[in-house]
Amino acid sequence: MTAEAGLPDTLRDLPTWTPDAVELADLELLLAGVYGPLPGFLGSFDTAMVIGGGRLADGTPWPVPVTLSVPKELTGHDQVVLQDPEGVPLAVLQVTEVWQDPTTQAWRLAGGLEGLRAPAHGPFHSLRRTPAQVERPDGPVLAVATREPLHRKQLGQLRQVAEGLGAQVLVLPLLGGPHDDSLVRALLGVRKELPEGARIIPVPLPPRDIGTDRATVLHAHIAAAYGATHLLGEAEVEGTAIPVAVPEPWAYDADVEVWRPVARIEPDHARAELTAEQLGDLLDRGEPVPDWYTPPAVAAELAVARPPKTERGVTVFFTGLSGSGKSTVARALADAVIERGGRTVSLLDGDVVRRLLSAGLTFSKADRDHNIRRIGYVAAEVTRHGGMAICAPIAPYAATRAEVRLMVGAVGDFVLIHVATPLEECERRDRKGLYAKARAGQIPEFTGISDPYEAPDDADLVIDTSRMTPDEALDQVLDLLVDGGWLRPA
């Protein structure tokens, strides 16, 4: 594809590429100057040095590889226009190196960037700032970079450290999760409990699996770019751009019913904050989060981001060979859930989807993957809005099922059920004559005959419909959903 509208004539014939979500966030931070000293996306040597030792090739400390993956057909160009998912051009990459990742075999481009326009932002765009747009106050600035709301303990520690430093406060909500809007609302909801003049500036930074120390180094670098002189953190880490301010331990004093430093609490009166598991269990059951733990504004946002399981969106994904009984059990489940009430249900049966959503696709591996991704996208949208999506495709490939699990898991819950009916029984039931045609070579790439079925090792339930009646299979699925909290008992 070549660039068109919105570009100077000299750039309109250039190839275009839409980076993935992490790369788009990196692009925005590179263009905004948040990622200085990086000139652009990294080459092979810099990337290897960063991964191996946390430094660029010139010795400059840097914690994470910032790279750009592209299809091989884009590796023969000196310039590439990078655009957002809607096709809006954001920058021109001046390619200085083409390289192939030795671990993933992905093709990558390195080089500097020429910005064309700022990325468009949705909710809370009025809070967004580049470092150049932030007024730098006189004196210390204490930053807190967070993917979680600030509860009473963290608010108390933040106020104590800021007072000790005589610092203003900068809160940097790190965006890139499924509930960014709820995180920002929760932080705005406790603004009155922050020191006067505290600023909240959202930063696009999707999670990376880089370890706690490197994450702290990255957060400190970003905070420093926005003018912070200190970063609130759990431990000091070597190589940070600004010092990490570690607060003293706090706990809830049950005697006087306030949070304060542990050193000021009688040992038998100190109560720790809720663990992540305890908090999740309260939310899953729909019980209120106690006021002693977090302010009401935060509790309300927690409930929005994680509603009770009986109200939370969920995808029930059946996989198995043709003729295994997937569709029979899936249709029975949809009927049973509707009969119980309290849930909206969308049934995405493999054959029906093939006729409508995926009309025109073949049974090649690439098209099968496209079909499953389309089912996954629709299921994720149903799940996002609190419904139950029941899917019953063959879905023979583990990697594609994992993509769907990830897609759905970002917005709700995912339950995988393997209908493990043996091939011999599936062939015996062959009402459509598909297996016979496949055996005769009339249907190429037929799952179980001339194309593999990769049995899942991560299924939440395995059923074999050759060993049970359809009603017995349905009962097992209903029991799983009731025990998991997604359905109320009948």
pLDDT digits (tens, 9 = 90+) for 169-220: 999 999 998 889 999 999 999 999 999 999 999 999 999 989 999 999 999 9
Which residue, of 305, 324, 339, is where some domain finishes?
Answer: 305
Q: Is the same domain home to 298 and 412? A: no
**Residue appearing with tokens 């180094």:** 217
Tallying the residues shown for the chain, one arrives at 490
Q: Does 154 map to a domain?
A: yes
Note whether 347 and 265 are same-domain residues.
no
Supply the pTM of this predicted model.
0.85
* Residue 92 falls inside a structural domain: yes
Q: Are strands 345-349 and 388-392 parallel, antiparallel or unpaired?
A: parallel
Q: Are residues 167 and 58 in the same domain?
A: no
* Co-location of 321 and 199 in the same domain: no
Residue 86 shares a structural domain with residue 223: no
Handedness of CA 399, 403, 404, 410 (dihedral sign): positive
Q: What are phi and psi of 482, to 5 degrees?
A: -70, -50
In CATH, what number is assigned to the domain containing residue 284? 3.40.50.620
Q: Same domain for 151 and 290?
A: yes
Residues 337 and 278 in one domain: no
Residue among 82, 151, 143, 73 at smallest CA distance from 117: 82
Query: Which CATH number fits the domain that encloses residue 43?
Result: 3.10.400.10
Residue 64 lies in a domain: yes
Position 131 in a domain: no
Task: Give the structural domain span for 182.
Answer: 136-305
Residues 24 and 92 in one domain: yes
Q: How many domains does the chain have?
A: 3
CA 30 to chain centre: 21
Pair (277, 417) in one structural domain: no
Q: Confirm whether 452 is domain-assigned.
A: yes
- Asked if the structure places residue 37 within a domain, the reply is yes
The CB density around residue 97, as the number of other CB atoms within 10 Å, is: 14
Residue ending a domain, choose from 305, 332, 347: 305
Whether residue 320 lies inside any domain: the answer is: yes
Cα Rg of the chain (Å, integer): 27
In order of 83, 119, 120, 326, the CA distances from 87 in angstroms are 5, 11, 12, 39
C-beta neighbour count of 304 within 10 angstroms? 13
pLDDT at 1: 43
How many CB atoms are closer than 10 A to CB 51?
A: 12
* pLDDT in the model for residue 7: 64
SS3 for the chain is: CECCCCCCHHHCCCEEECCCHHHHHHHHHHHHCCCCCCCEECCHHHHHHHHHHCECCCCCECCCCCCEEECHHHCCCCEEEEECCCCCEEEEEEEEEEEECCCCCCEEEEEEEEECCCCCCCCCHHHCCCHHHCCCCCCCEEEEEECCCCCHHHHHHHHHHHHHHCCEEEEEEEECCCCHHHHHHHHHHCHHHCCCCCEECCEECCCCCCCHHHHHHHHHHHHHHCCCCEEECCCCCCCCCCCEECCCCEEEECCCCEEEEHHHCCHHHEECCCCHHHHHHHHHHCCCCCCCCCCHHHHHHHHHHCCCCCCCCEEEEEECCCCCCHHHHHHHHHHHHHHHCCCCEEEEEHHHHHHCCCCCCCCCHHHHHHHHHHHHHHHHHHHHCCCEEEEECCCCCHHHHHHHHHHHHCCCEEEEEEECCCHHHHHHCCCCCHHHHHHCCCCCCCECCCECCCCCCCCCEEECCCCCCHHHHHHHHHHHHHHCCCCCCC
Residues of the chain with pLDDT under 50: 1-5
Residue-wise pLDDT tens digits, 266-288: 999 999 999 999 999 999 999 99
Residue 180 lies in a domain: yes
Task: Report pLDDT for 4.
Answer: 47
| End residue of a domain, out of 282, 305, 328 | 305
- 336 and 442 housed in the same domain: yes
Q: Residue 198's pLDDT is what?
A: 96
CATH number at residue 478: 3.40.50.300
Torsion angles phi and psi, residue 52, rounded to 5: -75, -35
Query: Measuring CA to CA, which residue among 360, 178, 159, 323 is closest to residue 248?
Result: 159
Tell whether 278 and 393 lie within a shared domain: no
Give the torsion sign (CA, 108, 111, 117, 120): positive
The pLDDT value given to residue 350: 66
Does 184 share its domain with 216? yes
Edge to edge, the sheet with strand 314-319 lists 345-349, 388-392, 314-319, 413-419, 461-463
